[in-house]
Amino acid sequence: MSLTTAHSVVAPSSNAKLIAGTIIIAYALISIVPLLWIFATSFKTPPDSIAYPPKIVFQPSIEGYCNLFTTRTRQTPEYINSLGPATGVCDATVRKRNMVIAGPSNFLPRFVNSLIIAFGSTFCAVFLGTLSAYGFSRFKVPLADDLLFFILSTRFMPPIAVAIPIYLMYREIGLSDTALGMILLYTAVNVSLAVWLLKGFIDEIPREYEEAAMIDGYTRLQAFWRTVLPQATTGIAATAIFCLIFAWNEYAFAALLTSGTAQTAPPFIPTIIGEGGQDWPAVAAGTTIFLVPILVFTILLRKQLLRGITFGAVRK
């Protein structure tokens, strides 16, 4: 690492660095444009969003967010004039389009479902994963390699192929369209990642800590609680964020196995429609709200990202 100084024979020349930097920055900027466009569209009015040529400069409006959280009905201007003064910003905005707010939309409950299912399944997956990872890391388990492969292989199953029997099974035992059913399913998918990632993290904690604790008279379980868990906090947090992102983003299971009460945000957002087609500012608003937590997590995770996407195999 210290070899990449000006004296190193293999250090890239400053010219090469300049060209490389320019290309990378250009790629980064282009690849981020769709995301910036989502963000911009969420603050456009519906006419602005479908203007030709596409508008880069526009008058920002919160109409998209208003439409996202409400359902509206069209009324005659006479009726709207007969109402009292508008009760809020959204009310005033939709009245300009000859509409009145009829009630809240389904977005908030779907968003809450996403939160419940993502956090619930993450907690279960990390809990089970930590125990199993410790078991595989510290004890001689017969057929350990086969069990670990079995655990990982469940993650590769095509979601639609799993969904067919799960659909029948959940229908039999009454878990169709319930948050509990989705939590169980996402836990099963995530636990494989959790075991593999956490095994890597726990392998890195020296055994001497536990052995010292056990010489002090702690049992194995106490040693696990007192020395291993505090040491593994970073690993557990990183694993939890990975599980959270998967459960948050998941679409196939959610679309096939939930339809109403337990539906999460990803299958809901594409169904947001206005008069005469998709209400793009509202879709963009929902997408923005949905993506912001992931952006924050990505920045928090950037040092662990490589580990997460290779199931803990590549650490640097």
Residues 176-235 touching another protein, rule: CB under 8 A, are: 184-185, 187-188, 191-192, 195, 219-222, 225-227, 229-230
Torsion of CA 142, 144, 150, 154, to 10 degrees: 130
Window 13-52: contact mask with another protein (x via CB under 8 A): ---xxx-xx-xxx-xx--xxxxx-xx--x-------xxxx
- Min dist CB 127 to another protein, Å, is 9
Whose tokens are 């070899």? That residue is: 3
Task: Residue 88: name the closest of 57, 123, 62 by CA.
Answer: 62
Q: Are 155 and 212 in contact (CB under 8 A)?
A: no
- Min dist CB 77 to another protein, Å, is 28
Give the Cβ contact number of residue 267 at 10 Å.
19
- Min dist CB 99 to another protein, Å, is 22
Torsion of CA 110, 112, 113, 117, to 10 degrees: 150
Instruction: Classify residue 54 by its DSSP letter.
Output: P
86 binds another protein (CB under 8 A): no
- Min dist CB 275 to another protein, Å, is 16
Window 233-272: contact mask with another protein (x via CB under 8 A): ------------x--xxxxx--xx--------xxx-xx--
Among 92, 108, 164, 212, binds another protein (CB under 8 A): 164
- Min dist CB 159 to another protein, Å, is 6
> d(Cα 156, Cα 145) in Å, to the nearest integer?
17
151 binds another protein (CB under 8 A): yes
Q: Are 299 and 292 in contact (CB under 8 A)?
A: no
* Phi-psi region at 217: left, alpha or beta (left = phi > 0; alpha = psi -120 to 50): left
> d(Cα 112, Cα 236) in Å, to the nearest integer?
24
Positions 58 through 77 that interact with another protein (CB under 8 A): none
Window 283-302: contact mask with another protein (x via CB under 8 A): xx--x--xx--xx-xxx--x
- Min dist CB 90 to another protein, Å, is 23
Q: How many residues sit in the footprint of another protein (CB under 8 A)? A: 114
